[in-house]
Structure 1
Amino acid sequence: MNKKVYLTISNNVSHEIVIKKSRFICSLSRIHSEDDAKQFIKQVSNANRKANHNCFAYMVGDDDHIQRESDNGEPSGTAGVPILESLQLTHVHDVCAVVTRYFGGIKLGAGGLIRAYSNVTSEALHEAGLVQRVKQAILQIKVPYNLHDQLLYFLKEQQIEIANEEYGVQVTTNIFVNDDDITSVIDNLNNQFHGQLHITEVGHRFNEIPYKE
């Protein structure tokens, strides 16, 4: 996995499995801060007050500089760590996982608990789906009216997304371009239109696209 690739979950989900009459429910949420994580953990715990355990793990930041986990009363190392490791193995960022357990009366043992908390988290992540966040530049193109249709055709052929257009003395067309492609796109535009376009970088955005390994 390229460390520069930023992945997170596509949707917030809740996924349940039953093992020897114990219910394990993994709730996943995208978060932006540790406060978001704490709020989500509190929300899930309040909704499951009668549960035996609400164990959790979360990672915050592009570089996962904040990582926390809790067994919430389960034997040490059997819940929080397996949940966290499932997040780490999927390479997701800014995600909080809370696994609620309703005890079914049959003890699973340390190994059984580790597998249960790991599996329900992994299955929830699969159900949620992944998206890759891609940094894009916003390029502003000022184009004479007589070249506007030609520009639109070129952008369509190159599958370049148009952000918006404004009409004045010239047409101003804003486009989204992946950061890695800025130089080649500008060079191609200048070559295609023989330097008749005025191109300026005016901002950035993050675009999210479905991700499959």
Structure 2
Amino acid sequence: MEEKETVREPYRMVLEGGQAELVEKKSRFIANVRPVESEAEAVAFIDEMKKKYWDARHNCSAFVIGTKAELTRCSDDGEPSGTAGRPMLEVLLGEGVRNVAVVVTRYFGGVLLGTGGLVRAYSSAVKEGIAASKIGTMRYGVRLKICTDYNGIGKIQYILRQNGLEAEDTVYTDQVELTVLLAAECVPGLKKEITEATAAKAGIEEVEKLYFVAPDA
């Protein structure tokens, strides 16, 4: 019996890291966000920020690894327990961002913020850092190769347009070969439409399965 393929949910990831800064009662909070693929990368990034901001009072951190947030870590780095790392991690999880690390550096301004003030400041810094980063939605998809004769190309191009799709590549020989990338859940419907429109004369082959950056809706 054929095993049913696991449904892979879309997730958000940092395509390009960003930096943001805010000041709360004279304390400076500097958030640095970076995409990471592993715990080792996240730890290296955190160490890098600690060296860069060696003179700061605190370099608090959080990271999320895996498309389903399989690995999460956070550190208060000397702040009262639960006032920095955990709130920072909660922001990352709440934003649905994966494979990301953030370090919030604090230069103490001489005024105590209290527990609530610290939670708000560190959370706000991470939100600002995410806002300053380039974020993309990763969807699980399939790359299809569609082969057709010249009679069917017009019908197929129309179907693709109706589904909001564009061919990645089109090769014209004695036949026409189109390469299309689309979300996995849309594949059965597209195959059905093309098969019906071309009287099953078009060849459709699944070339590759992968995550890709989906355009914003």
What TM-score do the two structures reach when normalised by structure 2?
0.88
Is 1:106 the counterpart of 2:111? The answer is yes
- Report the CA distance between 1:133 and its aligned residue: 0.7
- TM-score, normalised to structure 1's length? 0.90
Task: Name the counterpart of 1:71.
Answer: 76
SS where residue 162 of structure 1 aligns? coil
Query: What code does the residue aligned with 1:101 have?
Result: R
Structure 1 runs of 4+ with >6 Å offset: none
1:47 and 2:71 correspond: no
Q: Distance in 1 between matches of 2:135 and 2:197?
A: 37
Query: Equivalences for 1:20-169 in 2 at 5 Å?
Result: 20-128=25-133, 130-169=135-174
For residues 117 and 11 of structure 1, what CA distance do their matches in structure 2 show? 21
Name the residue aligned to 1:178. Answer: 183
Give 1:7's aligned residue: 12
Letter in 2 for 1:132: T
Cross-structure match for 2:24 = 19
Between the aligned partners of 1:45 and 1:211, the Cα distance in structure 2 is: 35
Distance 2:215 2:88 in 1: 23
- After alignment, is 103-112 or 16-25 more displaced? 103-112
Q: How far apart are 1:145 and its partner, in Å?
A: 2.8
Aligned-partner residue type, residue 106 of structure 1: V
SS in 1 for 2:64: strand
Are 1:192 and 2:187 matched, yes or no? no
Deviation (angstroms), 1:178: 1.3
Whole-angstrom distance in 2 between the partners of 1:181 and 1:51: 50
CA deviation string 1:6-26 (max 9, x = no partner): 122343111100011110011
Q: Check conservation: 2:149, 2:175, Cα contact below 8 A.
A: yes
Cα RMSD for the two superposed structures: 2.0
Q: Is the 8 A contact 2:9 2:139 kept in 1?
A: no
Q: How far is 1:160 from its partner?
A: 1.6
Gaps of 5+ in 2: 1-7
1:205 equivalent to 2:191? Answer no
Aligned residue-pair number: 210
Contact 1:130 1:210 in 2 (8 A): no
Q: 1:43 to 1:133 in 2, by over 3 A?
A: same
1:15–1:123 contact (8 Å) kept in structure 2? yes
Which moves more between the two structures, 198-207 or 121-130? 121-130
Instruction: Please report how far the alpha carbon of residue 149 of structure 1 lies from its aligned counterpart in structure 2 after TM superposition.
Output: 4.0
Query: Quick check: 2:12–2:98 contact (8 Å CA) kept in 1?
Result: yes
Structure 1 portions without partners, runs of 5+: none
Task: Tell me, yes or no, if the aligned pair for 1:130 and 1:211 is still in contact at 8 Å.
Answer: no
Identity of aligned pairs, percent? 33
